Amino acid sequence: MLNIALPLTTDVTKTLRAGDSVALSGAIYTARDAAHARLCELLDSGEPLPFELAGATIYYAGPAPASPGRVIGSVGPTTSYRMDAFAPRLLRLGQLGMVGKGERSAEVADAIREVGAVYLAAAGGAGALLSECVKSAEIVAFPDLGAEAVRRLIVENFPCVVAIDCNGGNIYVDGKRDYLRSLAALSD
């Protein structure tokens, strides 16, 4: 497991390969599709974003309310393709990391390669366990969105797998290819 201190830099992202296990420590920002739409509206109107985009990692999640004595409730990843319409723009403006689950569009994969970013997969269905890695949480934008508000989370040893790297590696493409090859080899 590779320990990664946030915010990300291209010196770090360029060393990561699809399939690497990583543990993130530092600030990440939660944002789902409604928050992404609002972030792009701010950009369109020339207003500043509620957090620094350079080197930022956005976690596609809408956390559950915290139970008594907890920092945050269950905080599992959301299906990432819902952010595909927004991701290339944010990547080209300095975002370097995304955390979610599932495949991404060719446009997102191209933008990842172009800017030297990385897409990380978190384990779906493990939101309660992932919440244990969150040391603090605060809403930084769009509180009216409830669970979909943008939150700044400070995480420690937050586990992910590199799903798409900036060198062209993609576990969703490469994994399928390798699986089909192994099936073909069995039938020979």
* Mean residue pLDDT across the chain: 95
Report in angstroms the alpha-carbon separations of 177 from 16, 22, 96, 135, 182: 20, 23, 27, 39, 9
Residues 6+ apart with CB under 8 A from 64: 72, 73, 74, 75, 127, 147
pLDDT at 181: 77
- DSSP H or E run through 40: helix 33-44
% of the chain exceeding 70 in pLDDT: 99
The helices-and-strands tally (H runs, E runs) of the chain is 6, 7
Q: Which residue reads 């605060």 in tokens?
A: 138
More reliable by pLDDT, 179 or 75:
75
**Cα(28)–Cα(135) distance, rounded to whole angstroms?**
11
Please report which confidence band the pLDDT of residue 93 belongs to, taking 50, 70 and 90 as the band edges: very high
Residues 6+ apart with CB under 8 A from 77: 59, 60, 61, 99, 100, 101, 121, 122, 123, 124, 127
Residues 6+ apart with CB under 8 A from 126: 76
pLDDT at 185: 76
Closest CA to 139 of 48, 44, 72, 57: 72
Active site residue 118: no
CATH architecture of 2-187: Alpha-Beta Barrel (3.20)
Contact of 111 with 117, CB cutoff 8 Å: yes
pLDDT at 188: 67
* Residue of 32, 36, 38, 104 with catalytic role: 36
